[in-house]
Amino acid sequence: MASTPDRAAGPPRLDPAVAGTACCVVSALGYTGANICLRQLAGDEVSRVITICVKELVAVGVVGPWLLWRWAAGDRFLPSPPTLALLMAVGLAVQLVGNLGQQYAFGVIGLAVAVPVVYCVMLTMAALLGRFLLGERIAFRTIVALLVLLGSIVLLGIGATQPGVPVPGVPWWRAAVAVGLACAAGLTYATLTVTVRATVSRGVSQMVVVLTTTGVGAASLGLLSLRTDGLAAWRTLPGEHLAWMLAAGVLNLIAFVAITKGLHLTTAVHVNLLNASQVAMAAVAGIVLFREQVTAWLVVGVALTVVGMVLIDRRLPTTEA
């Protein structure tokens, strides 16, 4: 008599590589949409502090009540005090250095230059931090790719300070400051990438990570905005600007949750590699939507960025989700 198939095994599990890739694609689309919203606000010269504060408040308003409901239901998910302190410190650096710096760069050098610079630095530093802090392997081709990405940063930085700067009328010194802030943003995002992977891999809920990093940002930036802009700036905030901020927040939350899950399924370098497809999307959006100027420096720099991303070793680890 033929044996009956074992039904207890249940449906086959989705390959972590496939799930991780899907998360990264969703994250890339979400971050690109959020960056377009932020670029619009930067072009309108809206307060950077209020912009980032409202964007982060979206995550707090969505994730906070859900975690409270889980806590009331008896789910005790708080991380250890050292882990919580680490997440808060990294989250504060991401908000005050990364997000504010990137927002400044959007208004000075535009999407087409700022996003590639941020991602080149983030890919490079995520690889190095992943190697030294998480013990992740760096193949020879990845080393070559990182050198190409460093070359791309140099070319984009030089090009941004030339007379043909992507955003017309910007003095060279402001463009140089913007490139430096974009590099600093990439460094903080790389630190966040590796921190998220390390904490989520140890069992910390990804929603706790989202609430902690965005909650720190909303609180600190809210206080900073009251000090720098005053309460009147909030009262007179145009509805159009508020809509752009909220849209950026929603898209950013979707992207953040997706990349947090992706970090749990694969290595930091692989996540950033797949997510960096937004470099091309950002360049196209900057040129088409915001009429940012196309220069030889920009074309070569973005091309080198793409080459570097292609060269990075794509092999996945065998860790289970």
Span 11-27, pLDDT tens digits? 556 667 677 778 888 88
Q: How far apart are CA 320 and CA 266, in angstroms?
A: 9
Burial 97-135 (b: 16+ CB within 10 A, else e): bbbbbbbbbbbbbbbbbbbbbbbbbbbbbbbebbbeeee
H-type alpha helices, the chain: 16-43, 48-72, 81-93, 100-134, 140-160, 172-201, 206-228, 231-235, 239-265, 268-275, 278-290, 296-311
Q: What's the token pair of residue 140?
A: 């020879």
Q: How far apart are CA 207 and CA 78, in angstroms?
A: 11
Say what the pLDDT of residue 280 is: 82
Cα 9 to its chain centre, rounded Å, is 38
Q: How far apart are CA 301 and CA 110, in angstroms?
A: 14
The DSSP annotation for 96-124 comes to IIIIHHHHHHHHHHHHHHHHHHHHHHHHH
Q: What's the token pair of residue 119?
A: 């991602």
Cα 95 to its chain centre, rounded Å, is 11
Residue 53's CB is within 10 A of a number of other CB atoms, namely: 26
Say what the pLDDT of residue 321 is: 31
Say what the pLDDT of residue 316 is: 34
Place of tokens 């400044």: 104
- Closest Cα partner for 99 from 294, 290, 276, 256? 256
Q: How far apart are CA 178 and CA 105, in angstroms?
A: 5
Say what the pLDDT of residue 297 is: 84
Q: How far apart are CA 164 and CA 213, in angstroms?
A: 37
What SS3 class is residue 76? Answer: coil
- Closest Cα partner for 32 from 310, 277, 296? 277
Place of tokens 């590589």: 17
Q: Look at the chain and count its residues.
A: 321
∠ CA(190), CA(130), CA(91), 5° rounding?
35
pTM, two decimal places: 0.83
Q: State pLDDT tens for residues 156-206.
A: 888 887 765 667 778 888 889 999 999 999 999 999 888 887 887 788 887
Q: How far apart are CA 245 and CA 229, in angstroms?
A: 17
Per-residue pLDDT of the chain (321 residues; tens, 9 = 90+): 444 454 445 555 666 767 777 888 888 889 899 999 999 999 999 999 999 999 999 999 999 999 999 888 888 778 889 999 999 999 999 999 999 999 999 999 999 889 989 988 888 888 788 777 777 777 777 788 888 888 888 888 888 877 656 677 788 888 899 999 999 999 999 998 888 878 877 888 878 888 999 999 999 999 999 998 889 999 999 999 999 999 999 998 898 778 777 767 766 566 656 666 778 888 889 889 998 888 888 888 888 887 777 676 544 332 233
Q: What phi and psi, each to the nearest 5 degrees, are found at residue 312?
A: -60, 135
Say what the pLDDT of residue 273 is: 63
Q: Please, are residues 35 and 249 in contact by the beta-carbon 8 Å criterion?
A: no
